[in-house]
Chain A
Amino acid sequence: MDGSAVDSYVEAFDELATVAPVTAVAQSLRRAAFERFSALGFPTTKNEDWHYTSPSAIADHEFTLIPAPSGDVKPSELAPFTFGAADWNTLVFVNGRFAAELSSIRAQSGVTVLDLATAWTREPALLGTIGTIAGYENSAFTALNTAFMYDGAIVTVAPNTEVERPIHLLFVADATAAKGMLHPRNLITVGRNAKATVIESYVSTGDAMYFCNPVTEVSIAETATLQHYKMQREGSRALHVGTIETHQARDSHYISFSFATGAALSRTNIYTTLAGEGCGATLNGLYMLDSDQHCDHQTMIVHAQPNCYSREVYKGILDGRSHGVFNGKVYVHPIAQKTDGKQTNNTLLLSDTAQIDTKPQLEIFADDVKCTHGATVGQIDQLALFYLKSRGIDAALARRLLTYAFAADVLEKIEIPEIRDGLEQMTLERFV
């Protein structure tokens, strides 16, 4: 690997223990992760997992650590990102650090929501699983995040508890984040037979170039359900690599939705392991790109036990010279009989210069399973466009309606009305 790219992180790592102290256990985890990162280096396109996405825009830059609270974000600047929902629990992080004055959390028995920087000293018992779900052995970005982990959100739901309001983790970067690096670390633990909704948003109030590298670990206990939304709406120069890794116990349900429309370069990894029988995983997503944006989704659903199902629909709307990548893996272990898996990736190209690389992948080692996958790439249907116009509908509106219609089926599956309505509106307005 190219040593110089990694060298620039050594100094930042050396000062970390002083400027961003964690528990002794966590500090040794950080050190191990940093050593792993140094050994791996940043991936190149020779790495199969990064074949269509070059992270060189990240590897070639030096980013500074922003350990102390910074930035100046007004509550009104957050309005475009809160989906008009006044009653959600919202944790706001500015340039990677928790901003209590912008956050609002209503106490509910059995629900613990706090920032990681506080949790190291106040609730270390909640952090036992940190680093056990998201492996960094083979991922330089997860290793880097683990090496620099300090702040982020901790959500712990006690058994048999239904979280009343969605929990919104809103990570905002402002102009002062320029040339900075952010490594938010989140841990979501849903207890036995509990139910929760968590939304992670990554947004910018300015147009700064910065590197955001969040990792979220999710543990869902038996018969529990988590609805998990990720909204990537960063500024047009932002660089974003985000990973979500989920562990599902028997009869648990994980419903994930990834929406990506921001950043110059973004990569979202969503991995879930169905580690007990009777689990269900639903991974849906929508990405809308234009100009020179590059957006890559890699998903992995590991069927490790029998009688589980997984459903996945990812849709992309690509305009300008944008480049979309979808790599969806479904891995079925030999003992995972009666697995029922279905995966689809559909792309709508709105320009001749937009590009998609789509790679659905099934790896099946059990013999009694039902798994399908498919991908389509198309353009606006000219006949449908003419049909709408022949009813007096103006050409621009007709195009918008058909663009919206393309995304409608994944949007309709969103169960939180504020998010569904918000994304429907964005889909209708984004492309004209």
Chain B
Amino acid sequence: MLEIRDLKASVGDKPILKGLNLTVNAGEVHAVMGPNGSGKSTLAQVLAGNPAYEVTGGSVTYDGKDLLAMAPEERAQQGIFLAFQYPVEIPGVSNAYFLRAAYNETRKARGEDEVDPLEFADLMEEKLAYVDMDTSMLTRSVNTGFSGGEKKRNEILQMAVLEPKLGILDETDSGLDIDALRVVADGVNKLKKPTNATIVVTHYQRLLNYIVPDFVHVLAHGRILKSGGKELALELEERGYDWVTGASPVGAGAAA
């Protein structure tokens, strides 16, 4: 589904990703772990097409297409979804309007009919249950005045509505207490299908107790330094990132 080859990206003049390789197949859950500043969020933003990040080398192939040539909205319409670490507040635009616009734009791009507000309300009733939210959430402005937990749940709600093929969760656990974490993780698990895949970007292992990965990758210095199964996450939790990253990135060329 996704092939990342030798990906290099910068913010301003600063190189962040320095030759990253990763392959994700349908049905898989990949965890990308790493210390602060390792490039985890950059990877997530680059895949979603944030123009603030400049791709300086490498390739990303998604379903056989050149992902990097696609505009952010096109990527979303083709099934890529990024759950933001810091969801953006948009005062003045209701959550309901926003969600319906996103849903309809995606349907339109796929050649499907748009739904009217009534049909959409029925759909929302079902989707809200995924993240244990009530309809009052829909009349509020997008993320405006939402608590940290509400913002993250709102991200997963959008994911439930858009049903992406590839979901990328960027530090979705940050700022969440254990109950909120469970609700959010539960929502993600309910959306899992053999035809879709998830990349979980996280600093801590605790989220992986709830969203169990098939593969764990350690990202540091802009590259993936080590890959393994879910037990790698536990080992990282115990031994810390220094164990992998070390003072000098020995074996930095190791690819996933």
Contact assessment for A395 and B101 in the assembled complex, using a CB-CB cutoff below 8 Å? no
Contact assessment for A405 and B101 in the assembled complex, using a CB-CB cutoff below 8 Å? no
Q: Beta-carbon contacts of B92-105 to A below 8 Å, as 1s and 0s?
A: 11000110011001
| Smallest Cβ-Cβ distance to B161: which chain A residue | A391
Q: Beta-carbon contacts of B72-86 to A below 8 Å, as 1s and 0s?
A: 110111000110100
In the complex where A391-B76, A391-B98 touch, is A384 in contact with B71 (Cβ < 8 A)? no
Task: Report the bound CA distance from A406 to B92 in whole Å.
Answer: 7
Contact assessment for A392 and B92 in the assembled complex, using a CB-CB cutoff below 8 Å? no
Contact assessment for B87 and A387 in the assembled complex, using a CB-CB cutoff below 8 Å? yes
A418 touches B (CB below 8 Å): no
B98 CB contacts on chain A under 8 angstroms: 388, 391, 401
B21 CB contacts on chain A under 8 angstroms: none
In the complex where A392-B106, A402-B90 touch, is A382 in contact with B52 (Cβ < 8 A)? yes
B106 CB contacts on chain A under 8 angstroms: 392
Contact assessment for A401 and B72 in the assembled complex, using a CB-CB cutoff below 8 Å? no
| Smallest Cβ-Cβ distance to A405: which chain B residue | B92
In the complex where A397-B101, A401-B101 touch, is A390 in contact with B91 (Cβ < 8 A)? no
Contact assessment for A397 and B105 in the assembled complex, using a CB-CB cutoff below 8 Å? yes
B50 CB contacts on chain A under 8 angstroms: 386, 390
B48 touches A (CB below 8 Å): yes
Q: Beta-carbon contacts of A392-424 to B below 8 Å, as 1s and 0s?
A: 111101100110111111000000000000000
Contact assessment for A392 and B73 in the assembled complex, using a CB-CB cutoff below 8 Å? yes
A392 CB contacts on chain B under 8 angstroms: 73, 76-77, 102, 105-106, 109, 162
Contact assessment for A409 and B92 in the assembled complex, using a CB-CB cutoff below 8 Å? yes
| Smallest Cβ-Cβ distance to A398: which chain B residue | B73
| Smallest Cβ-Cβ distance to B45: which chain A residue | A386
Q: How many A-B residue pairs have CB under 8 A?
A: 83
| B71 CB, min distance to chain A CBs, angstroms | 7
Contact assessment for A391 and B102 in the assembled complex, using a CB-CB cutoff below 8 Å? yes
B175 touches A (CB below 8 Å): no
Task: Report the bound CA distance from A383 to B51 in whole Å.
Answer: 9
A393 CB contacts on chain B under 8 angstroms: 73, 76, 101-102, 105
A389 touches B (CB below 8 Å): yes
Contact assessment for A389 and B73 in the assembled complex, using a CB-CB cutoff below 8 Å? yes
| B69 CB, min distance to chain A CBs, angstroms | 15
Contact assessment for A390 and B105 in the assembled complex, using a CB-CB cutoff below 8 Å? no
Tell me which residues from 330 to 389 in chain A have a Cβ below 8 Å from any Cβ of chain B.
381-384, 386-389
Contact assessment for B84 and A389 in the assembled complex, using a CB-CB cutoff below 8 Å? no
In the complex where A390-B48, A391-B158, A394-B73 touch, is A384 in contact with B88 (Cβ < 8 A)? yes
Contact assessment for A382 and B162 in the assembled complex, using a CB-CB cutoff below 8 Å? no
B167 touches A (CB below 8 Å): no
Contact assessment for A390 and B71 in the assembled complex, using a CB-CB cutoff below 8 Å? no
| A165 CB, min distance to chain B CBs, angstroms | 29
Q: Beta-carbon contacts of B27-63 to A below 8 Å, as 1s and 0s?
A: 0000000000000000000001111100000000000
Cβ-closest 5 pairs across A and B: A408-B92, A405-B92, A392-B76, A391-B102, A387-B88
Enumerate 15 A-B pairs (CB-CB under 8 Å) in ascending A order. Answer: A383-B88, A384-B88, A386-B52, A386-B72, A387-B88, A387-B90, A388-B98, A388-B102, A389-B49, A389-B72, A389-B73, A390-B49, A390-B72, A390-B73, A391-B158
B residues within 8 Å of A by Cβ? 48-52, 71-73, 75-77, 81-82, 84, 87-88, 90-93, 97-98, 101-102, 105-106, 109, 141, 158, 162
